[in-house]
Amino acid sequence: MNTYQSRAEIPENEKWNMEDIYPSLETWEEDYRRIEEMTMKFKQYDGAIHDGTSLYLYLSEKEEVSSTFNLVYVYGMLQADVDTRDIAAQSLVDRAKQLAVKLNAATSFFMPYLLSLEEHTLREFIEQEPRLDYFEQDLFEAYRYKEHVLSKEKEEILSHLGEALSAPSQTYNMLNNADIKFGEVTTDDGDKVELTRGMYSKLIEDDDRNKRQEAYKSYYQPYLQLKNSLASTLAANIKTNVTLARLRNYPSALEKGLFGDMVPKEVYENLIAATKANIAPLHRYTTIRKEKLAVEELRQYDLNVPLVNGVKIEISYDDAYETILEALTPLGEEYVNTLKTFKEARYIDVRETPGKRSGAYNLGVYGVHPFVLLNQHDDLDSMFTMIHEFGHAMHSWYSSSHQPRISAGYSIFVAEVASTVNEVLLINYLLNKETNEAIRKHLLNHFIDQFRGTFYTQVMFAEFEKITHELAESGKPLNVAVFNQTYESLFRQYNGDEVVFDDEVKYGWSRIPHFYRPFYVYKYATGFASAIHIAEKLLAGDQATLKAYLDFLKSGSSDYPLELLKKTGVDLTTPEPINNALKRFDQLVTEFSSI
């Protein structure tokens, strides 16, 4: 693997071409000034929208400015991400953020105004001005919230309380990211060093069980020390969600959380029920893990170590790209040929360099193209990361190519479908091609553990959220003891009786930042199950599913997520997609145990 000390060493075709957004800083500055001028102009619309024409003029100018602002912000963000030490790039981001504050302030009058209109008045405006057809769906989507919007005075009070209401989340973030100090671990040289999150993710997969145990105990140490403070922040966050749901006339906090995607609570409940009805294969895998590791007692710190020793798959970026293109042939020529062009067109920033943002992402920029950030390590994990992000990138490309700007974006609910379909196609391709049994077993182990983490664990988290919010809604106390008892019980139900509990297990709730973004994690599981369902049909050569899936990728946000998925044959209002995915997990575990 190449190790680069600066971006100057990296070949041009492995770096983003930022000129695709702006050919020069001068053109960026021109757009920046234009947005500032337009922002001032928006104030003249406050109190002056009285008919369809004035409504259309405001909305069309707002869309144009928002679109330009997106380019201004993204240009700075992408440059800052490739080198977080770059002061000039960070300055562009800071200036864009300041501009966003001005833009939001200048347009904040509009939503209260819109929701003050009677529905028949809005319909009259649309009849008067045919050009409003373009905005109709978004206008009535905002209208859908009308019964959950309070009086102007109450909304103003809530807006002033915004910072206070977000305090539990902010406090947790500060504790979890800034203040927490993990315990020490022993290096290979015998020195003691303070554990970091990055070190933990590696050590918890180490072959040496003593290293895993030491890392596990050190990692949980601050969470146990801060247990009462962390329970207080989580309880406050849950109670805030419950209170806001009541104030805004939602039947429950869960239904408030699902409202934006128009997902009925039955989908959430079906997910949990179907998963628990099909929990036996996960318990079987836990038993296999215990046998394979040859331990008398299976502990939580044994659940992430790979079960196949001595398999290290190295694959260069170029070879990985070719393998990915071959693996994705079930998606058809257009998909594969389009993705092939991304490489030379410099849509991908490939290499890890000092100061570059960690991880990977795709950012679809309407009117330009997708931008994919990688930190390539020329190994199997890197190839799976690539194909995952390419799934998002192709979703962005298809949606932007086939949708107008207003509906080109897609919701988080469907986002993980496109990335996971790609991963399933890759694992299937590699398994079909590979004859070395150790490597085949390693690939199966990789997929099973991904399935466990992205599906089962997220459903367990989703059930924890549901239970704790229902406790708050019924006036029951929320504290360390309640959180511990709830989490420990769920961990036992999902992972089975083979796991012997250390004291740390029951404090798992204290380290999950997603709990401060209520009713979000279930989307990982529904997206994963939907992708398994679709990929199985694609691999069987089902041409109707292929057409429906490509249409889904082209759909952006032109319909609600559940409706978009139904067109691919995935109906999440029934248990079928979840059951099919879990049947696949059962097959994977059976195959793994038979090799």
CB count in 10 Å sphere of residue 322: 13
Answer whether 83's CB lies under 8 Å from 20's CB. Answer: no
Measure the CA–CA gap between 535 and 459, rounded to whole angstroms: 21
Q: Tell me how far CA of residue 590 lies from CA of 293, 445, 584, in angstroms.
A: 18, 12, 10
Kindly state the helix (H) or strand (E) to which residue 177 belongs, with its residue range: none
Q: What share of the chain is helix, strand, coil (3-state, %, to 5)?
A: 70, 5, 25
Angle between helices 209-225 and 227-247 (to 10 degrees): 60
Q: Which amino acid is at 384?
A: F
CA gap 228, 224 in Å, rounded? 9
Output the six-digit token pair for 83: 């080198």
Residue 497's CB is within 10 A of a number of other CB atoms, namely 10
Residues 484-493 as b/e (b if ≥16 CB within 10 A, e otherwise) read: bebbbebbee
Return the structure tokens found at 482.
Answer: 């309640």
CA dist., res. 501 & res. 154, Å (int): 48
β-pairing verdict for 348-351 and 184-186: unpaired
Active-site residue 14, yes or no?
no
Phi then psi dihedrals of residue 186, to 5 deg: -95, 130
Q: How far is CA 493 from CA 284, 330, 456, 469, 496, in A?
A: 13, 38, 11, 20, 6
Q: Which of 214, 389, 416, 465 is catalytic?
A: 389
| C-alpha triplet 397, 525, 542: angle, nearest 5° | 60
CB of 571 closer than 8 Å to CB of 565: yes
Residue 331: which of 410, 382, 398 has the closest Cα?
A: 398
Tokens of 16: 């983003």
d(CA 564, CA 261): 11
> Catalytic positions, please?
389
